[in-house]
Amino acid sequence: MTTAQQAVRSSASDVPVNKHRRDWRGWKFMWPFAVVFVFVFIIPIIYAIYISFFQEKMIGGTVFAGFANYDRLFHDGNFWYSVGRVALFTVVQVPIMLALAALVALALDSMRLHGMRFFRISTFLPYAVPAVVSTLMWGFMYSAKYGLIGSMNAALGWHLDAFSPDWILVSIGNINTWEFTGYNMLIFYAALSTIPHDLYEAAAIDGASEWQIVRKIKMPELRGSLAITVIFSIIGSFQLFNEPQILKTMVPGNVITTYYTPNMYAYNLSFMGGESNYAAALAIVMAVITMVLAYAVQLSSMKEQMR
Amino acid sequence: MSSTRQNAAQTATAQASDGKRMIGLEMLQGANAARTGAEPVYLEGRAAKKAEKKRQKAIEKGLAEERKRSAKTGFSNPTNPRRSWGLTLVTGIFAVYCLFPFLWLLINSTKTQKDFVSTFGLGFGKSFNLWQNIQTVFTYQDGIFGRWFLNTLLYVIVGAGGATLLAIMGGYALAKFDFPGRKAVFAVVIGSISVPGIALAVPQFLLFAKLNLTNTPWAMIIPSLISPFGLYLMWIFSDQAVPTSLIEAARVDGASEFRTFFTISLPLLAPGIVTTALFTIVATWNNYFLPLIMLKDPDWYPLTIGLNQWNSQSTTAGAKAIQNLVVTGSLLTIIPVVVAFLCLQKYWQSGLAAGAVKE
């Protein structure tokens, strides 16, 4: 995202600016996007903020309630429980996924693999699979009754249960890792392939070992794209919804609750419980938390680059 | 990548002209091909493609020769190192992790419901039932799967197609015009990426309900028209691929802004457009959350919602379990997207490279 800002600056200076008359030509191309964007993004956000200040009462209908919804939210144990769960999920799953992605990208970029094209494609392919299909697929394989885990248990005499309360978050994490490692790998790989190869040649002539080339040339390049992948991954895992929502019907009992993740909580509040106003307040608080986190990551990466 | 290859081919040429080393016929061919590649040779259509393929093959051969030589002499070219079976094996483990669910899906779509719950997951069932499964998927519940398929196609063509078009025009405007409010547009769009989907979905639903648009295709299409990531990608791409001087030249020649856009800029943007289209198509094809809240009528379901509904049917007591249909339906759902990715890999790989990292 820092690269994006640089690009704004550089491309703006390319454009000849007529200081006396404002140049409105760009809007000829911008307006269709802007109109739809206002309709599906800006107005709903303003509307959500607006309704979050109201409450539906049994008597008197919808009344202005000030910060009552927010007050209730800050004392809502279920909500903070769900936030804690996605935070834990983010702290564990995102580093594993990004480390895997970086390792595969480095392996591909080393040009030492047999069948590089095959690896590039096969590691990215899971990204093309809808979350519904990948969750169903893994859900079937997880099943202790007739899935692969069941076969493994039978063969080895284990009692592994991917759907037990202790393991379910790991199972969801595995699905997410499977889906998105390839995507992040591709971003890292793209970053690595912008390094001019003369640099490697020069380093090799100076007697640098392959490990030194990786550490001194490739790793710093990866750091630049790390910010983007971290921000997207944080946003993604804080919005965790599809996988637990779909697994809910496959998992026996009440292991996945209606407030398992903040998004699931908001969904169930507004579409099952009829508490749209409260759900809107929840959604706004989550948006603020996510944006603060994304901003913090961006700031720290900028500091890193300044050094 | 191609520069590396050329480098290697050039070293091969240098060594060949040296005359001190044995010159293999293949190496000569490789050197020749590299030389003809350096000079522009104008060939049309299929012949050009064929020649290019031949050239690539020859270079590949030259590179392999070089690796073989470096194994003997001990001096290795850092841009053409020796292939390592060890590293291939380690990376191979990860590739297996990525691919085996596909294998599982393929195998299990050939099973009957009875075999599905009773036989080993990665082995075939007692009978080969793939064709019957596919037939049942399309005929079950009066062929509603076909309807879902067409719905998805409609959402993808209109929604993702429109999203791509809006992203191209918007990205072009951001990159090539300094219009008032440009910085504000940028800040708002980038900021909107981090707004959680649910924060939008609830008010979007309420808004669409007020306009009587829920339960119609519009509820799915209109929100799909906006792809902030696509806009970002197209803007970076326009910035790099369309030289401002070219636009200026067209303007001086008296072309209107739209004529310049369609005849000069669009062709230059082609690889970026394919990338953006592919990502918006995948996003729309795979969307689960939006249709889940917007559509209640099964006749308007896309594939994702329909499949999940079939699956939940299996878990409700008393209903017939149709997991074999869910698995076969899943396979049919992913085939178009996977095929699209495989066919267009040249484009999205280069397009993403341009979009993901910019100097």
Pair (A258, A195) in one structural domain: yes
Contact between chains at B174 and A30 (C-beta distance less than 8 A): yes
Instruction: Taking residues A22-27, report their average pLDDT.
Output: 81
Judge: domain B130-356, CATH 1.10.3720.10: yes
Interface test with A, best of B79, B98, B111 (most A CBs within 10 A): B98
Spatial contact of A126 and A178, defined as CB atoms under 8 Å apart: yes
Contact between chains at A25 and B91 (C-beta distance less than 8 A): no
Most distant CA atoms of chain B, gap in Å: 83
Smallest Cβ–Cβ distance between A186 and the set B117, B305, B352 belongs to B352
Answer whether residue B29 shows pLDDT above 70: no
Name the average pLDDT for chain B.
80
Question: pLDDT: is B22 or A137 the higher one?
Answer: A137
Q: Per-residue pLDDT tens for A128-162?
A: 899 999 999 999 888 877 778 878 777 887 777 88
Contact between chains at A130 and B285 (C-beta distance less than 8 A): yes
Q: Does residue B111 sit in helix, strand or coil?
A: coil
User: pLDDT over 70 for what percent of chain A?
Assistant: 91
The tally of domains found in chain A comes to 2
Confidence (pLDDT) at A82: 93
Of A95-109, A185-199, B111-125, B208-222, the poorest mean pLDDT is in: B111-125
Give the pLDDT band of residue B74 (cuts 50, 70, 90).
low
Pair (A60, A177) in one structural domain: no
On chain A, the residues whose CB falls within 8 A of the CB of B345 are 120-121
Spatial contact of B175 and B235, defined as CB atoms under 8 Å apart: yes
Contact between chains at A27 and B176 (C-beta distance less than 8 A): no
Answer whether residue A256 shows pLDDT above 70: yes
What pTM did the predictor assign?
Answer: 0.81
Pair (A46, A95) in one structural domain: no
Instruction: Taking residues A83-109, report their average pLDDT.
Output: 93
Q: How many CB atoms lie within 10 A of CB B346?
A: 10
On chain B, the residues whose CB falls within 8 A of the CB of A28 are 173, 257-258
Residue with tokens 């804080």: A238
- Looking at A33, A66, A99, which one is the last position of a domain? A66
Smallest Cβ–Cβ distance between A15 and the set B79, B177, B195 belongs to B177
Burial of B14 (0-12, 13-18, 19+ CB in 10 A): exposed
CA distance B153 to A230: 33
Answer whether residue B199 shows pLDDT above 60: yes
Domain boundaries, chain B: 2-73, 85-118, 130-356
Instruction: Taking residues A2-11, report their average pLDDT.
Output: 49
Cα of B245 to nearest chain A Cα, Å: 10
On chain B, the residues whose CB falls within 8 A of the CB of A10 are 239
**Per the domain annotation, does A2 fall within a domain?**
no
Pair (A35, A119) in one structural domain: no
Confidence (pLDDT) at A89: 95
CA distance B333 to B303: 7
Pair (A55, A98) in one structural domain: no
Cα of B143 to nearest chain A Cα, Å: 20
- For residue A291, what are the domain limits? 76-306
- Looking at A66, A93, A126, which one is the last position of a domain? A66
Give the pLDDT band of residue A86 (cuts 50, 70, 90).
very high
Answer whether residue B77 shows pLDDT above 50: yes
Answer whether residue B8 shows pLDDT above 50: no
Pair (A185, A141) in one structural domain: yes
On chain A, the residues whose CB falls within 8 A of the CB of B239 are 7, 10-11
Pair (A36, A165) in one structural domain: no
Confidence (pLDDT) at B158: 95
Answer whether residue B312 shows pLDDT above 80: yes
On chain A, the residues whose CB falls within 8 A of the CB of B326 are 136
Pair (A95, A242) in one structural domain: yes
Confidence (pLDDT) at A275: 84
Answer whether residue B221 shows pLDDT above 90: yes
Confidence (pLDDT) at B355: 52
Interface test with A, best of B4, B91, B214 (most A CBs within 10 A): B91
**Per the domain annotation, does A31 fall within a domain?**
yes
Confidence (pLDDT) at A261: 92
Q: Does residue A256 sit in helix, strand or coil?
A: coil
Instruction: Taking residues A49-74, report their average pLDDT.
Output: 84
Give the pLDDT band of residue B235 (cuts 50, 70, 90).
confident
How many CB pairs lie under 8 A apart between chains A and B?
330
Q: For the domain that residue A155 is a member of, what is the CATH number?
A: 1.10.3720.10
Pair (A90, A143) in one structural domain: yes
Question: How do A54-57 and A61-64 pair as beta strands?
Answer: antiparallel
Smallest Cβ–Cβ distance between A200 and the set B78, B182, B289 belongs to B78
On chain A, the residues whose CB falls within 8 A of the CB of B191 are 291
Interface test with A, best of B111, B177, B280 (most A CBs within 10 A): B177
Question: pLDDT: is B23 or B58 the higher one?
Answer: B58
Instruction: Taking residues B275-296, report their average pLDDT.
Output: 88
Question: pLDDT: is A71 or B28 the higher one?
Answer: A71
**Per the domain annotation, does A172 fall within a domain?**
yes
Residue B86, phi-psi category: left (phi > 0), alpha (psi -120 to 50), beta (remainder): alpha
Instruction: Taking residues B228-250, report their average pLDDT.
Output: 86
Q: Per-residue pLDDT tens for B257-270?
A: 889 999 888 988 88
Contact between chains at B122 and A120 (C-beta distance less than 8 A): no
Residue with tokens 């929502």: A245
Contact between chains at A113 and B105 (C-beta distance less than 8 A): no
Burial of B109 (0-12, 13-18, 19+ CB in 10 A): buried
Tokens standing for residue A15: 């454009």
Q: Per-residue pLDDT tens for A195-224?
A: 887 888 888 888 888 788 888 888 888 887
Instruction: Taking residues B124-141, report their average pLDDT.
Output: 85
Contact between chains at B174 and A39 (C-beta distance less than 8 A): no
Contact between chains at A147 and B236 (C-beta distance less than 8 A): no
**Per the domain annotation, does A138 fall within a domain?**
yes
DSSP A152-209: HHHHHT----TTSTTTHHHHHHHHHHHHHHHHHHHHHHHHHTTS-THHHHHHHHTT--
| CA closest to A183 among chain B residues | B352
Which helix H or strand E contains B119, and what residues bound it?
none
Confidence (pLDDT) at B43: 58
Residue B58 amino acid letter: A
